[in-house]
Amino acid sequence: MTWLVTGGAGYIGAHVVRALHQDGAQVVVLDDLSTGHRSRVEAGVPLEDGTVLDGPFVRRVLADHQVSGVVHIAAKKQVGESMADPLLYYRENVSGLVALLDACRSEGVERFVFSSSAATYGLPDVELVDEDTPGVPLSPYGESKLVGEWLLRDCAAAYTMRVISLRYFNVAGAAGPELGDPGVFNLIPLVFQALSEGRRPRVFGGDYPTPDGTCIRDYVHVADIADAHLAAARALESGSPSETYNIGRGEGSSVLDVLRVVGDVIGKQVEYDVVDRRPGDPARVVAAVDRIRKGLGFEARRDLPDMVGSAWAGWQARPA
Ligand code: WQD
């Protein structure tokens, strides 16, 4: 079986490619290198440089490499950018998925793992967010992921396709310094950037209804995310039915918890400023992880120090 990983030259995609390849799977990468980099693609894994929006190109790739399953990670993923340019997000994330699915149907590809997001939930007002929690996304990014799930659910019902959608919670860390997150859009890289520039990191809100007043999130190591994709791919190979799973640790960490671990990692306490809340931030978003444990036998193995320590090593290894 050969798996096509779209976005396989990117931060998360490169980790998924590594997990599949090291488990003995045949893998090929499709990436337009808009944010990914060919240096992240493991030696021995072919890279096809192009966009999922190009149907004839995708069909050629599927046929040339005799692809029988797709892990679709290529997407735009910045919440703020999606608010400013929703059409870009619907074109890349939804029209891109439609074009990819058209090519899959033409070439008889019937196994599909989809990169979805906790952003599909919006403001879940529950202690633990399970997969039946209503999805009320707050951004075009979150909407594009929820629409993608609906589209895949309908395809699985109408055609002989089987789909596993994976809702990532807050992804962090790196399997090696060369695979660090190149984007500076999420909490941990933003803290590193502030510290590197001699600024105090900003905590968005200190008056939330949480133990220390700061937002709680379910941080999950990108290597665990990759392991979950491997488990999903193997499950589809062995005939698993379609399903939707959260990927998280099932436990929450506050912003101050993260800053404390950053201090432990860099060897000095982090001084920070508490500023106004960021609009749209829920106080707590923590995954229920029973379904993926029962369905795929998957549990996240890395903890917050693993994430922050490996992210710091990746930050230090960034090109100047
Ligand atoms: C985390 C917490 C901020 C920066 C993201 C995206 C998306 C999705 C889920 C995959 C929040 C606080 C942040 C800062 C801060 N994952 N913060 N100071 O908003 O939980 O959601 O993960 O699709 O990537 O939706 O992640 O890293 O922006 O913020 O206090 O300088 O850190 O308020 O509570 P978020 P984030």
Per residue in 238-266, pLDDT tens?
Answer: 999 999 999 999 999 999 999 999 999 99
CA of 282 to the centre of ligand 1 (A): 10
Per residue in 50-86, pLDDT tens?
Answer: 999 999 999 999 999 999 999 999 999 999 999 999 9
Mean pLDDT of 207-221: 98
Per-chain mean pLDDT for the chain: 97
CA of 204 to the centre of ligand 1 (A): 10
Q: Is 84 in the pocket of ligand 1 (CB under 6 A)?
A: no
Task: Enumerate the domain spans of the chain.
Answer: 2-171+219-247, 175-218+250-289+302-312
Q: From CA 317, how far away is CA 232, in angstroms rounded?
A: 31
Domain topology for 175-218+250-289+302-312: UDP-galactose 4-epimerase; domain 1 (3.90.25)
Q: How confident is the model at residue 319 (pLDDT cuts 50, 70, 90)?
A: confident
pTM, 2 dp:
0.97
Query: Which residue CA neighbors atom 9 of ligand 1 most closely?
Result: 170
Mean pLDDT of 267-292: 97
CATH 3.40.50.720 corresponds to the domain 2-171+219-247 = yes
Q: What pLDDT score does 311 carry?
A: 98
Beta carbons within 8 Å of 294's beta carbon, 6+ residues apart? none
- Nearest-atom number in ligand 1 for the CA of 285 is 20
> Residue 104 corresponds to which tokens in the numbers above?
């899959």
Per residue in 79-137, pLDDT tens?
Answer: 999 999 999 999 999 999 999 999 999 999 999 999 999 999 999 989 999 999 999 99
- Nearest-atom number in ligand 1 for the CA of 168 is 10
Q: What pLDDT score does 125 carry?
A: 87
- Portion of the chain with pLDDT greater than 70, in percent: 100
Pocket test for ligand 1, best of 145, 186, 308 (most atoms within 8 A of CB): 186
Q: Is 170 in the pocket of ligand 1 (CB under 6 A)?
A: yes
Pocket test for ligand 1, best of 255, 259, 286 (most atoms within 8 A of CB): 255
- Nearest-atom number in ligand 1 for the CA of 214 is 34
Q: Is the pLDDT of residue 184 over 80?
A: yes
Within 171-211, where are the H helices? 187-196
Q: Is 251 in the pocket of ligand 1 (CB under 6 A)?
A: no
CA of 206 to the centre of ligand 1 (A): 15
245 as an active site residue: the answer is: no
Mean pLDDT of 223-247: 98
Beta carbons within 8 Å of 13's beta carbon, 6+ residues apart? 5, 6, 7, 29, 31, 36, 40, 73, 74
What letter represents residue 4's amino acid?
L
Q: Is 203 in the pocket of ligand 1 (CB under 6 A)?
A: yes
Q: Is the pLDDT of residue 320 over 80?
A: no
Q: Is the pLDDT of residue 192 over 80?
A: yes
Provide the 3-class DSSP secondary structure of residue 29: strand
Q: Is 246 in the pocket of ligand 1 (CB under 6 A)?
A: no
Q: What pLDDT score does 40 carry?
A: 97
Beta carbons within 8 Å of 183's beta carbon, 6+ residues apart? 11, 35, 78, 189
- Nearest-atom number in ligand 1 for the CA of 139 is 25
